[in-house]
Amino acid sequence: MPASGRSVHPSGRVRRAGLRGRTRPVTTASFPTGRLPFADLLRVSSVGLRTRRLRAALSALGIAIGVASIVAVLGLSASSQAGLLAEIDRLGTNMLTVSAGKDLSGAAAELPLTAPGMISRIGPVEQVQSTGAVEAKVYRSPLVPDVNTNALTVQATSLRLPEIVRTGVLRGRFLNAATANEPAAVLGYVAAQRLGMDRVWLGRRVWLGGRWFSVVGILGPAALAPEIDGSVLVGYPAAMRYLGFDGHPSTIYVRSTTDQVENVHAVLAATADPEHPGQVTVSNPSDALVVRAAARSALNGLFLGLGAVALLVGGVGVANTMVVSVLERRSEIGLRRALGATRGHIRVQFLAEAVLLAGLGGAVGVAAGVLATTAYAATRHWAVVVPPEAWAGGVGAAVAIGVVAGLVPALRAARMQPTEALRTV
């Protein structure tokens, strides 16, 4: 029994000698359970960021650049897809083109004169327009050397071509029943640029096939028929009268009912040229838009890879910052340990600091990526679309990088002995 006359009961209560052998419980002090409240954790983990602001900003910059790249790539991809779908909806997927192919000897074949009329008799076909290649050159003036053709072509056209290819007239007007018989021309969008003509006025002319043709209009871009953009269009009667055109169409544009496109596609070649259907090429121009979307998706993978590399570099920067922070703050670690902080407190503090640093960089990166997506989409007249997985994934990746980057420094700080740390004070 201790000299004080007390004995310890097996139950943990203290027994005082005498006084009829009764026991009286003694209250002891209660210590924390080892968990820091969230508010305290946030305060102590932000000390390093608040006292070393420039270093923290530079470390978070790498994370921000990586996240911004990922968010911008995904956002621009989604916005461009939305813009492409809107363009396809506007242009329609029910247009087919019929063009002359090659014969058995490899020479260019020729569509019959009756091909447009025969195609128009197909039940589901709604519209038929055509163009014919003309062997003539076009120049700004007769003083231009013959070799400077600017890769422009001359085509005879039917009168409702803009309607079927879903383009408009930017300047002037398109050919009508009167001007189709006269030396008058309409410039495609690219042809007008190469000829240096952006306006139409009375007396505006081009040197076409060895004579002057009046320019009556300029077309807008034709997404479904890019061959029209680089062409100068004249009426069928004028082409035959002034340019020696034989009247055979080279390309026929067909609009059918949307639900019958495949069926019309199957019979177009035999209808256009019953004698030689193998010399007829039938295509759907909207397929080119789908291929273009696939090419964009392939490039998106490359940019996402570059964004991931930037994010990894940012994670290395965060890890380096945390390692240096542990070395610089040994006195703080030792003092906190001496005052009762556990290894778990120190470990959680530095891990939370790394996560907070990376999370701030991720938030800034998401904001920058959304801003870049908005600005670029506005210039292209696209709807701004930022998928949830872009910003949520960006922040999540940043936090994950922070956890990985801060784990080793946090464990190193927790293993530091108080006496060793306090020697640096």
Q: What is the DSSP string of 173-221?
A: ----TTGGGSSEEEE-HHHHHHTT-----TT-EEEETTEEEEEEEEE--
How many CA atoms lie less than 13 Å away from 298 in the CB half-sphere? 6
Q: What is the pLDDT of residue 377?
A: 86
Q: What share of the chain is helix, strand, coil (3-state, %, to 5)?
A: 55, 15, 30
Kind and range of the H or E element at 234?
A: strand 231-235
In terms of phi and psi (left: phi > 0; alpha: psi -120 to 50; beta: otherwise), the region of 200 is: beta
Whole-structure pTM value: 0.61
Name the nearest CA neighbour of 212 among 237, 178, 189, 182: 182
Q: What is the pLDDT of residue 28?
A: 37
| CA atoms of 365 and 359, how far apart (whole Å) | 10
CB atoms within 10 A of CB 96: 21
Q: What is the pLDDT of residue 12?
A: 43
Q: What is the pLDDT of residue 306?
A: 65
Query: Would you say 130 and 219 are in contact if contact means Cβ atoms under 8 Å apart?
Result: no
Domain spans, the chain: 38-87+290-422, 95-284
Q: What is the pLDDT of residue 234?
A: 97
CA 59 to chain CA mean position, Å = 27
Kind and range of the H or E element at 287?
A: helix 286-328
Residue 51, both tokens: 């006292």
pLDDT per residue of the chain (425 residues) written in tens, 0 to 9:
444 444 444 444 444 444 444 444 444 334 344 566 777 677 777 776 777 778 778 778 878 888 888 888 888 877 877 777 777 777 777 889 999 888 777 788 889 999 999 999 999 999 999 999 999 999 999 999 988 888 999 999 999 999 999 999 999 999 999 999 999 999 999 999 999 999 999 889 999 999 999 999 999 999 888 899 999 999 999 999 999 999 999 999 999 998 888 899 999 999 999 998 888 999 888 776 666 655 555 556 666 676 677 677 777 777 777 777 776 677 777 777 777 777 777 788 778 888 888 888 888 888 988 998 899 888 888 788 888 877 788 888 888 888 887 777 777 777 777 666 566 55
Q: What is the pLDDT of residue 298?
A: 54
Torsional sign, CA 393, 394, 395, 400: positive
Q: What is the pLDDT of residue 419?
A: 64
